[in-house]
Structure 1
Amino acid sequence: MAKLAETAEIELKIRLASENVAKMQAWLNGLPNAAHHQVVLGNTYYDTPDRFFAHEQMGLRVRTENTRYEMTLKTAGKVVDGVHIRPEYNLPLNEPKPDFAQLNAHFQLGFENAAQINAELLPTFSTDFTRHIWLVRYQQSQIEIALDQGNIRNPLGECEICELEFELKTGQLKDILALIVQMPVMQGIWFSDLSKAQRGYYLGQAVKFSEEISKSLKADSLVKQEAPLADYIREYPENSAYLSVLNQQLKTEFNWAQMQAYLKSPTYFAQNLARLTQRYAG
């Protein structure tokens, strides 16, 4: 059996409109010394009937790649302006069935009721996508860039996956940001704090996302408020209260449609990139 692994994943997530994929692929294929390959990934996320992992802001999945199976627990970690920094725990499996009790025991995660959780696990949603991967050496860092295209499905419906993930394998986060500065930017591209797992939980249940936003509105940091509001407004039903709050923060006077377009614009993308670059410049 393959070696069990615990890693602290550092990645930056960028969503994009499907019409921008060809231009983005052309840029990625033109990167110097970039090794490219493609995989097809099937992922089933599991949770208990009372949504234990969702409440703890975790995601438990079983991934299928050809005839290989792997279970992963992703913890909440820290997410700011599309930068995701979170511990994850990986366990190779002999079959596509979760074994949370074994993962808990190996990594000494401290879940006293791990066996009960494992017995109650049910498939909650799936994410199935094709992943194009480029491994790039840039400045002092090794960066893995993944372009994912596919779908998220749960019993309430489905939605599209079309996103880029820049994962830091070795080096410094500032090198990822320096590389992104060179990326083609167009209407329909944006940083996102939402993971695939969160989108799966919220699919068809916008009210659950609203509950999380209500928590963020109590935060002291305007950035902590801005990111979830922006993610909501881009894709979910109109909410005049959220629009008013974000207009105040951004010092704008947009209606809902105008705000949706602005939040996917090159101007807003550049502002977020500049803020990230300043934060991680050291």
Structure 2
Amino acid sequence: MATELELKLMLHSDYLKSASDFLDEICALSDTDDQSRQPTLALMNAYFDTENADLMQGGMALRIRAVNNTFIQTVKTRGSDRIGMHARGEWEWFIPNDHLDLSLLAEVPLPDVLQDMSWSRELIEVYRTDFERQVWNVRFQATTMEVVCDHGFVISPYGKDAICELELELKEGNEAGLYQFALQLAERVPVQVSIVSKAQRGVRLKYGQIEFPNKPLQTANTIVLAAYWYEVWLVYWEAMHFMEDEALMQPFRHSISQLKAYLPNDLVEVVNDLDRQLESCLMVEEVMMLTKLASIKQIGIAMLKIGQWLNQQTA
């Protein structure tokens, strides 16, 4: 079992080449394997669950990945809560074909509600992800990471959702290096922090629901309240683009204004600068608003700076 800690960044497809060029340039600064571009992969992933989404509700994802006729069965479980990041338990096994081997799950500490394995008799393939993955090994300061760029689709009987994202996975060092490298990238390419996994995208296609964090009591400490409004902000950003609904701009900005009340002065200035840029988007025709928003670098820079600060407070 490995614990996977990654920072996921969303970007518009118009900026894929810019992101790839930036990462190629970083790797060109070194001729060692710890900083180099790896072969591009074509990945197919089949995700399994019950009709009632018992695995998803229990906090587990089960998939088979096919890479060049090699099959890998993977289980991921929810790990510790990391603000704006993904921390999960992960188990992988090579298997001979594209059929699940559920006996391998004996190695996994399943969530309590799934331990009786009764759900295993009702498993179906609920969706697939098909995408191209570009891969870079990057060493930044004292942090070693794998950076991947995924471009493709989540496909299910309920529709299709585009995948266009970067994932920075920590291999050695600490998460501060991930954030610092991501900020360097965000100065060059408009990216935004994403907290929606590919598995959640597949579930979202079926239910059409946007999952918000649980609201804490108003008497909670300021860091808890800041973390809540930060994640609401990220959820509204993803929802606005998934639903292609410019009307969500209002709650998107409202969540930022609520968050501002709990931030230190330097980050308040970052948010104020962002809000001025968002105000200018209201003058753009609605049909162009989402494209305009996706081009604003300050959105991702603010998300990353605030996310890094929040994680420092809760470390």
TM > 0.5 between the two? yes
Matching of residue 26 in structure 1 with residue 21 in structure 2: yes
Query: Which residue is equivalent to 2:41?
Result: 39
Per-residue deviation, residues 21-44 of structure 1 (Å, max 9, x unmatched): 111111111113322121111100
Query: How has the CA–CA distance of structure 1 residues 22 and 36 changed in structure 2, closer, same or farther, with 3 Å as cutoff?
Result: same
Query: Which residue is equivalent to 2:263?
Result: none
Match of 1:165 among 167, 184, 187: 167
Q: Distance between the aligned counterparts of 2:215 and 2:241, measured in 1?
A: 17
Query: Which residue is equivalent to 2:3?
Result: 8
Query: How has the CA–CA distance of structure 1 residues 259 and 120 changed in structure 2, closer, same or farther, with 3 Å as cutoff?
Result: same
Matching of residue 276 in structure 1 with residue 283 in structure 2: no
Query: Which residue is equivalent to 1:104?
Result: 105
Q: Distance between the aligned counterparts of 1:133 and 1:237, measured in 2?
A: 29
Q: In proportion to residue count, which structure has more strand?
A: 1
Aligned residue for 2:180, secondary structure, equals: helix
The answer to whether the Cα contact below 8 Å between 1:43 and 1:63 also exists between their aligned partners in 2 is: yes
The amino acid across from 2:83 in the alignment is V
Matching of residue 198 in structure 1 with residue 200 in structure 2: yes
Larger displacement relative to structure 2 (269-278 or 128-137): 269-278
The amino acid across from 1:227 in the alignment is L
Query: Which residue is equivalent to 1:86?
Result: 88
Query: How has the CA–CA distance of structure 1 residues 35 and 243 changed in structure 2, closer, same or farther, with 3 Å as cutoff?
Result: closer
When normalised by structure 1's length, the TM-score is: 0.84
Overall identity of the aligned pairs, in %:
24
Query: How has the CA–CA distance of structure 1 residues 275 and 259 changed in structure 2, closer, same or farther, with 3 Å as cutoff?
Result: farther
Query: How has the CA–CA distance of structure 1 residues 180 and 112 changed in structure 2, closer, same or farther, with 3 Å as cutoff?
Result: closer
Match of 2:116 among 113, 117, 120: 113
The amino acid across from 1:277 in the alignment is Q
Matching of residue 176 in structure 1 with residue 207 in structure 2: no
Query: How has the CA–CA distance of structure 1 residues 280 and 223 changed in structure 2, closer, same or farther, with 3 Å as cutoff?
Result: closer
Query: Which residue is equivalent to 2:237?
Result: 230
Per-residue deviation, residues 99-122 of structure 1 (Å, max 9, x unmatched): 23x2331234364322x3222210
Q: Distance between the aligned counterparts of 1:127 and 1:95, measured in 2?
A: 18
The answer to whether the Cα contact below 8 Å between 1:42 and 1:65 also exists between their aligned partners in 2 is: yes
* 1:196-275 alignment, distance < 5 Å: 196-203=198-205, 205-206=207-208, 208-209=209-210, 212-213=211-212, 216-217=214-215, 220=225, 221-236=228-243, 238=245, 244-251=250-257, 257=286, 260=290, 261-262=292-293, 265-275=296-306
The answer to whether the Cα contact below 8 Å between 1:79 and 1:193 also exists between their aligned partners in 2 is: no
* 1:47-86 alignment, distance < 5 Å: 47-77=49-79, 78-81=81-84, 83-86=85-88
Return the offset for 1:238.
3.8
Q: Distance between the aligned counterparts of 1:179 and 1:237, measured in 2?
A: 30
Return the offset for 1:10.
0.4
The answer to whether the Cα contact below 8 Å between 1:143 and 1:167 also exists between their aligned partners in 2 is: yes
The amino acid across from 1:268 in the alignment is I
Query: How has the CA–CA distance of structure 1 residues 15 and 237 changed in structure 2, closer, same or farther, with 3 Å as cutoff?
Result: closer
The answer to whether the Cα contact below 8 Å between 2:22 and 2:185 also exists between their aligned partners in 1 is: yes
Query: Which residue is equivalent to 2:260?
Result: none
Q: Distance between the aligned counterparts of 2:127 and 2:134, measured in 1?
A: 22
Q: Distance between the aligned counterparts of 2:216 and 2:252, measured in 1?
A: 14
Q: Distance between the aligned counterparts of 1:237 and 1:176, measured in 2?
A: 30
Match of 1:17 among 12, 16, 39: 12
Q: Distance between the aligned counterparts of 2:144 and 2:251, measured in 1?
A: 39
The amino acid across from 2:127 in the alignment is F
Structure 1 stretches of 5 or more lacking a match?
1-5
Return the offset for 1:264.
5.9
The amino acid across from 2:107 in the alignment is H
Q: In proportion to residue count, which structure has more helix?
A: 2
Q: Distance between the aligned counterparts of 2:176 and 2:167, measured in 1?
A: 15
